[in-house]
Amino acid sequence: MGRSVGLAVRRGRTLASGPGLVDGESRRVRCIETEYAGAAPVRCFETDEPALLEAVFRLRYVVYVEEMRRRQPHADPVARRLAEPLDRDALHVVACAAGAGPGEVAGGEGLLGALRISLSRHGGLETIERLYGLDAGGFGDRSMVITRLVTRPEARGGASSAGLALACAAYRIGLRERLTAGFIDCHVGLEPLFVWLGFDPIRRFTHADYGEIAVMRIDPLDRARLARTDSPFLRILAAAEDSGSVHSVPTVSGERECARVPEREA
């Protein structure tokens, strides 16, 4: 369950060099555009850099164990870190202060928040499917599940919050990965926030440790739905469509899918 929202490269895989990579720091760190309503004092990095992930695991421990006082089977009280099996094949996004570089974030300075994205095509989501009340394979092969969204208290709330920057970064990743659905769960008290972003509740249940939980789903290409709540994702989708990098097309079943324009036509 995500702690708060103000609302990724597989571990072991190194990012290729190219635009957006942070030279002189790590070849496994890439910036993601996260601006919303102007320049926010938050930057997001997609990373599988071990030092950065360790900082994320430590932040998780602080939020879930020390702040929320939740039972966590994988928590290490000696090292004060919270890492899980899902982390191995997940995409990871970290948010940091705009003036901080990856080196500072890895040292724990400037890290404002993080989230984890599991792509359904990688498998291993059976436990979450059962938790969400879905049938086996219910996520399909073009979905993402966002979990372990955490932010520091001082980075929560407002248009420049780390959570909002992370949410926009996750949405951009969803478009890039050509996904047709995204899932996240939250406490029912945060449901209105996710509805504003473009998610809709599909199920509610009571969790022994977290209380009343809402399972939320988003169709990243449903322009009308995003417009209905004036979601910050709408301008990201519009920019992607205008650039020709992504567009929506109907499938035989009437659902929508993400299609990329071949580079030679872009």
pTM for the full model?
0.80
Q: Average pLDDT of the chain?
A: 79
Whether 97 and 112 have beta carbons less than 8 Å apart is answered as yes
pLDDT, one tens digit per residue, over 12-35 is 333 332 333 333 344 366 667 554
Q: What is the pLDDT of residue 112?
A: 92
**CA 83 to CA 114: how far, in whole Å?**
13
Average pLDDT over every residue of 105-116 = 82
Q: Work out the percent of the chain whose per-residue pLDDT is above 70.
A: 75
Complete domains list, the chain, with CATH: 29-259 (3.40.630.30)
pLDDT, one tens digit per residue, over 131-189 is 999 988 899 999 999 999 999 988 888 767 899 999 999 999 999 999 999 999 999 99
Both tokens of 1, joined, read 């369950």
Check residues 39 and 192 and name the one with the higher pLDDT. Answer: 192
Q: Name the maximum alpha-carbon separation found in the chain.
A: 54
Whether 56 and 111 have beta carbons less than 8 Å apart is answered as yes
Question: 98-102, 186-190, 195-199: lowest mean pLDDT where?
Answer: 98-102
Whether 246 and 240 have beta carbons less than 8 Å apart is answered as yes
Predicted confidence (pLDDT) at residue 265 exceeds the cutoff of 70? no
Question: 35-49, 77-91, 147-161, 205-219: lowest mean pLDDT where?
Answer: 35-49
| pLDDT band, very low/low/confident/very high, at 106 (cuts 50, 70, 90) | low
Both tokens of 189, joined, read 């008290």
Q: Which segments within 111-224 are labelled E, that is strand?
A: 111-119, 143-151, 181-187, 200-207, 211-218
**CA 182 to CA 149: how far, in whole Å?**
14
| pLDDT band, very low/low/confident/very high, at 40 (cuts 50, 70, 90) | low
Average pLDDT over every residue of 104-117 = 82
Check residues 69 and 80 and name the one with the higher pLDDT. Answer: 80
Both tokens of 79, joined, read 């090292």
pLDDT, one tens digit per residue, over 234-260 is 999 999 998 877 765 444 334 444 433
Predicted confidence (pLDDT) at residue 43 exceeds the cutoff of 80? yes
